[in-house]
Structure 1
Amino acid sequence: MNVDMNAMKAEVGGAFVVSWLVFGSSGMGLEGAVILAAAWMAFAGAHILPVVTWCHMLTGDLGDTDAHIANGMRLVGQMVGSILAIVLVTKAGTMATPWTADAWAMPEMWAAFTAIAAGAIFWQVHTKADSVWISAFAVMALASAMGMQHEALTTALDTANPGDWYSTSGANEMGSVIAGMTFGDLGDVLPTFIVDGLLVGIGARVGTEIDKAI
């Protein structure tokens, strides 16, 4: 198996920047969208967000094992970048991350449909607009529907109150579990990481098939 080291380095770097500057402080608002767009330009070819990688996986040739392995390695790179950012933001564990893992449960039917619809819309925008700025603002607009925004359960890094909304990505939460060695949370975080990505990816596939049929 040949690993594309340039792609891996781009994913690590891009995920580090976004995890540190967006999910570690500002959240996925207007400022977050600008940072994400800048990261996509700086790390050309990087997916940076797990939902983007899942969309690539499910809109490509589903029988292409090499492509799936390559995309899987991108997910690993994103987690590594997130781990490095979390170590920096939390001062190597001396400060708490702004969330705790929610107990995992299968999404309700309408929440699943919402994630699929968001994936379809995002992927059409991302692949047709040919602009990192438009793609980043699409992520900002659809973050909640794509499973990237949750209600905080604990006090955030500084003085944010419990109950505030925070933005994150699957790689960020996976990175937090690994960096903090809180593997008891893995049973909640890993299924969420997979199911959220699958739903958005399925939406991307549905949107692609509809576009072909029109």
Structure 2
Amino acid sequence: MEINWKENMNEIGGAFMLTWAVGYSGLGVEWAVCLAVAWMAFAGAHLLPVVTWCHMLTGDLSDVEGNWMTNGMRLVAQVIGACLAIVLATEAGDIETGWAATDMWIPDIADNLWVVLGMIAAGAVWWQIHTRCDMVWASAFAMMAFAAAMTLNGASEMGASITSAGDGIVDTAVNWICDGLFVGIGALIGVKIHELLPEAGAAEEAAAE
């Protein structure tokens, strides 16, 4: 597999900027503005794990190298960028942040069913906005609007765990994967629904016949 260093450096730089400047809360206009600027500055970068999972699951699922491995490298690059930002912001651990790992939620998925359905719905709607609008501003502000339904801080959580000597790394890694996976599943469902719907012109012609 040939590694695209420019692509991965964009991910590292963009994730560093987001983590250091505004974090991954997804709340507030300043966050959406920073995300839009980062997308423009680091052209082609996904920056957020949920975005990478959307690309991954709506891409060619049979393409191991071009889809799964390439996007997997993006996810790793995002974590590296977050780690660098956390090391800088905490002065290599001298500043105590009070961070604690979040418990793994997937074993209790039955109790979190509505949350999971919300993630899937948010992924479906956001991906349609992202792929139909040519402006990064629309995608960024839509991401802000759906922040309550999507977990956007996967990279920074992984970065915090790694820079804390692996504290809670198993729970954090599983959450990092699942939080992006369900949003990506939503994006895939949205694409499939769109493909099943007839075009407006075709529907009118069928009705006329």
**Per-residue Cα deviation, 1:101-131 (whole angstroms, up to 9, x for no partner):** 1211224111110000000011011111111
Partner of 2:40: 41
Give how far 1:97 is off. Answer: 3.1
Partner of 1:180: 164
Give how far 1:27 is off. Answer: 5.9
Compared with structure 1, are the counterparts of its residues 98 and 58 closer, same or farther at alpha carbon in structure 2 (3 Å cutoff)?
farther
- The aligned amino acid for 1:118 is A
Do the aligned residues in 1 keep the contact of 2:26 with 2:147 (CA within 8 Å)?
no
Give how far 1:139 is off. Answer: 1.1
Equivalences for residues 44-123 of structure 1 within 5 A: 44-66=43-65, 67-97=67-97, 99-106=99-106, 107=109, 108-123=112-127
Alignment pair present for 1:137 and 2:137: no
Normalising to structure 1: TM-score of the pair? 0.86
Question: Could you say which structure has the larger radius of gyration?
Answer: 2
- The aligned amino acid for 2:73 is M
**Per-residue Cα deviation, 1:179-210 (whole angstroms, up to 9, x for no partner):** 121x2401211111111111000000000111
Do the aligned residues in 1 keep the contact of 2:26 with 2:143 (CA within 8 Å)?
no
CA distance in 1, matches of 2:47, 2:98: 21
Give how far 1:96 is off. Answer: 2.6
CA distance in 2, matches of 1:184, 1:84: 17
Normalising to structure 2: TM-score of the pair? 0.88
Partner-residue secondary structure (3-state), 2:150:
coil
Structure 2: gaps spanning 5 or more residues: 198-209
Partner of 1:22: 22
CA distance in 2, matches of 1:73, 1:176: 19
Compared with structure 1, are the counterparts of its residues 185 and 55 closer, same or farther at alpha carbon in structure 2 (3 Å cutoff)?
same
Partner of 2:8: 8
CA distance in 2, matches of 1:109, 1:27: 22
Runs (4+) of structure 1 exceeding 4 A deviation are none
Do the aligned residues in 2 keep the contact of 1:50 with 1:75 (CA within 8 Å)?
yes
Partner-residue secondary structure (3-state), 2:43:
coil
Structure 1: gaps spanning 5 or more residues: 149-168
Do the aligned residues in 2 keep the contact of 1:22 with 1:28 (CA within 8 Å)?
no
Partner of 1:128: 132
Count residues in correspondence: 192
Q: Which residue, 150, 168, 173 being the options, matches 1:146?
A: 150
